Structures are given as structure tokens and as C-alpha cells.
């Protein structure tokens, strides 16, 4: 059985495309030939009653699977760095690391 998480609160409209902004296609998908070649990371924020809960997920681009995920109640630089360091220790370093559309 597959479970899907979905927010039950009204979502902010932050993902609207700007009509004048050019979108560059993520072309490295065509170049990924093996596991541990390209990793990507994403951070998601979930509002709670008095704070936010932050989730970081580090994924392997070839295998399309989550390598590591962590929750934190603070959004300091160590949160992401520690997760990435742990993934590198566990799986070895990737050739390319990307996050937030390459930013």
C-alpha cells in the first residue's frame, strides 16, 4: 500500500511561474547514467501551532530514491550540512550536487 502525505491547510501560492522569466530545462537528466552520479536536495517547511518543522531530503538522481532525510525545528546552516555530510559518509560523494533548481 502506498501512502501519500498531503497538507490539509490552505497552501500559499508561491509556485506561480513568472510570465517573463525564462525557464531552463534540467538537462542533466539525459546525462545521468549511474547511481551516485547526481544528487539533489530539497527542503520543505511545515507550519505547526507555534513554529515550523523543516524537512530536508537528499535524493539520488539515477535511482530516483531518497538517500537520507532529516527533520529540524530550526533552519540554521548546520541542519543541511550535517544531513549532506551524513549522506556522503554513508554513500560516498556524488559527482554533482544540486538543490532548488540548481541555485
Output the pLDDT for position 102: 45
Q: What domain count does the chain have?
A: 1
Tell me the torsion sign for CA atoms 39, 6, 75, 17: positive
Residue 13 falls within a domain, yes or no? Answer: no
Determine which helix (DSSP H) or strand (DSSP E) holds 88, and give its type and residue range. Answer: helix 77-91
Domain annotation covers residue 69 = yes
Q: Which residues contact 39 (CB under 8 A, 6 or more apart)?
A: 58, 59, 60, 61, 67, 87, 94, 96, 97, 98
Residue 66 has pLDDT above 90, yes or no: yes
Residue entry with cell 506561480? 16
93 versus 63: which is more confidently predicted?
Answer: 93
The end-to-end CA distance of the chain, in Å, is 35
What is the per-residue pLDDT for 27?
Answer: 54
Whole-structure pTM over 0.75, yes or no?
no
- With pLDDT > 70 as the criterion, what percentage of the chain qualifies? 67
Q: 85 lies in which domain range?
A: 34-99
- For residue 54, tell me if it sits in a domain: yes
Amino acid at each position: 500500500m502506498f501512502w501519500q502525505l498531503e497538507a490539509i491547510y490552505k497552501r500559499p501560492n508561491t509556485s506561480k511561474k513568472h510570465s517573463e522569466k525564462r525557464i531552463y530545462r534540467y538537462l542533466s537528466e539525459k546525462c545521468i547514467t549511474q547511481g551516485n552520479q547526481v544528487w539533489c536536495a530539497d527542503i520543505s517547511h511545515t507550519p505547526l501551532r507555534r513554529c515550523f518543522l523543516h524537512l530536508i531530503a537528499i535524493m539520488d538522481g539515477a535511482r530516483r530514491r531518497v538517500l537520507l532525510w532529516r527533520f529540524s525545528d530550526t533552519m540554521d546552516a548546520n541542519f543541511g550540512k550535517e544531513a549532506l555530510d551524513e549522506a556522503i559518509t554513508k554513500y560516498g560523494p556524488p559527482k554533482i550536487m544540486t538543490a532548488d533548481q540548481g541555485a
